[in-house]
Structure 1
Amino acid sequence: MGLQNAKHSKVKQANIVMLGLDSAGKSTLLYKFRYNDLFLTSPTIGFNVDMIETQKDFTLTFWDVGGQQKMRQSWCSFLETADGLLYVVDSSDKQRLEESKKEFEVILKTESLKGIPVVVLANKQDLPGAWNAEEVTRRLNMKKYCSDRNWYVQPCCAITGEGLSEALRILTAFTRQYSRSKETSTIFKEIKTL
């Protein structure tokens, strides 16, 4: 029993907050990540939580928070313990991308999110006229708003699963690096107080 607990305690865990406007595909993406299957979803009222082991010693806990206007007011409370942000945009909905950009900018200005890695999923690449990763990068002004952190824009399709394994790999690498730097920072703070 003791050995099993010691082994289990070595597993690192990181909190990933999934945000984006309603109908961007967050819940569908989460189900595809977790079960590699397509689920019919309805708008998320509140949030969904799921854990995914991405490596044998590393688990990501995803907080999929509803994107309706009334839910956006509570986004900041979810960001307080975030180790990574997964921001989802409907890359085919050009009319709402400006609204999504404004919400994204507000999120990135949140003090608790300072330096936290960001992966943007340019979802719905299967739809005609969807903007590619380069265009989403430009339209969200990623180079300006994410210059102080690791960031990446991954084109994907929640229905087919295209691009999702790459997104998980990048998100895992970013959050592992962030977690290590956070641990090192905590150790230095503790040493200074001695």
Structure 2
Amino acid sequence: MYTLLSGLYHYLTQKEEYYVLIIGLDNAGKTTLLERIKSIFMGVAGLDPDKIAPTVGLNIGKVDIKSSRINFWDLGGQRDLQSIWERYYTECHAIVFVVDSTDPVRLEECRDTFEKMITNDAVEGVPILMLANKQDVPGALRVEEVKEVFNKIAVKLGARDSRVLPVSALEGNGVEDAIDWLVLRLQRNKINRPPIFR
């Protein structure tokens, strides 16, 4: 009887678990974004932005949102670390690509990196959320200006869910709306990328 009740309890309390990659060029604000997500959805104080060092490898954040657990994988964006991203593509349920809106000089490099990622067969059908970060900085490129650079390769996104949103990871503006969009897409894409139940 205990085994039956234990199994029923486990079944009723299990969570859908998803894996979301946070990628982009170095210094785009990926780790700051992860810390902001944790502070918004878990109610914990994130790292002091002045103490966030460049990511070498991987930072992980687990956040429970509604009935789902979202595992965020924040991967280093330095050029020599970008080859590691491919190892995570087959396991991810969505990708958040962070763009530094204050760095127009590297926007072409950013676009090329994005194109390489979306043309990888392992991310076929995976929802893509692009965040134009650092919108709190005066003179930052507006979302429309960022989109214009990426429009040339937008056709390669195909029919998958994708969106470009403005955020300030530092101040938190737009982050909650972005994650709400992402969670909805994870739920909608269960047929292509089923969650793991734990």
- TM norm. shorter chain > 0.5: yes
Partner of 1:155: 166
Partner of 1:67: 77
Partner of 1:174: 185
| Structure 2 residue ranges without an equivalent (≥5) | 1-5
Equivalent-residue separation in structure 1 for 2:76 and 2:193 (angstroms): 28
Deviation of residue 3 (structure 1)?
3.7
Partner of 1:22: 26
Deviation of residue 58 (structure 1)?
1.3
| Structure 1 residue ranges without an equivalent (≥5) | 184-194
Secondary structure, counterpart of 2:132 in structure 1: strand
Deviation of residue 96 (structure 1)?
0.8
Equivalent-residue separation in structure 2 for 1:150 and 1:72 (angstroms): 23
Residue by residue over 1:21-54, the C-alpha shift from the partner in whole angstroms, topping out at 9 and shown as x without a partner, is 0000000000010024452310001001111112
Deviation of residue 182 (structure 1)?
4.1
TM-score (norm 2): 0.86
Equivalent-residue separation in structure 2 for 1:46 and 1:110 (angstroms): 20
Secondary structure, counterpart of 1:2 in structure 2: helix
* Identical columns (%): 31
Deviation of residue 2 (structure 1)?
3.3
Equivalent-residue separation in structure 1 for 2:174 and 2:114 (angstroms): 21
Task: Please tell me the residue identity of whatever aligns with 1:120.
Answer: M
Task: Please tell me the residue identity of whatever aligns with 1:50.
Answer: G
Contact 1:133 1:153 in 2 (8 A): yes
Contact 1:38 1:159 in 2 (8 A): no
TM-score (norm 1): 0.88
RMSD value, Cα = 1.5
Alignment of 1:1-194 (within 5 A): 1-9=6-14, 11-36=15-40, 37-39=45-47, 40=49, 41-55=52-66, 57-141=67-151, 143-183=154-194
Residue by residue over 1:97-121, the C-alpha shift from the partner in whole angstroms, topping out at 9 and shown as x without a partner, is 1111100000001111001100001
Comparing 111-120 with 125-134, greater Cα deviation is found at 125-134
Residue by residue over 1:85-105, the C-alpha shift from the partner in whole angstroms, topping out at 9 and shown as x without a partner, is 000000111001111110000
- Asked which structure has the greater RCO (Cα within 8 Å, sep 6+), the reply is 2
Distance of aligned partners of 1:84 and 1:51 in 2 relative to their CA distance in 1, 3 Å threshold: same
Distance of aligned partners of 1:64 and 1:96 in 2 relative to their CA distance in 1, 3 Å threshold: same
Deviation of residue 65 (structure 1)?
0.2
Task: Please tell me the residue identity of whatever aligns with 2:165.
Answer: Q
Distance of aligned partners of 1:182 and 1:17 in 2 relative to their CA distance in 1, 3 Å threshold: closer
Equivalent-residue separation in structure 2 for 1:5 and 1:38 (angstroms): 31
Contact 1:54 1:168 in 2 (8 A): no
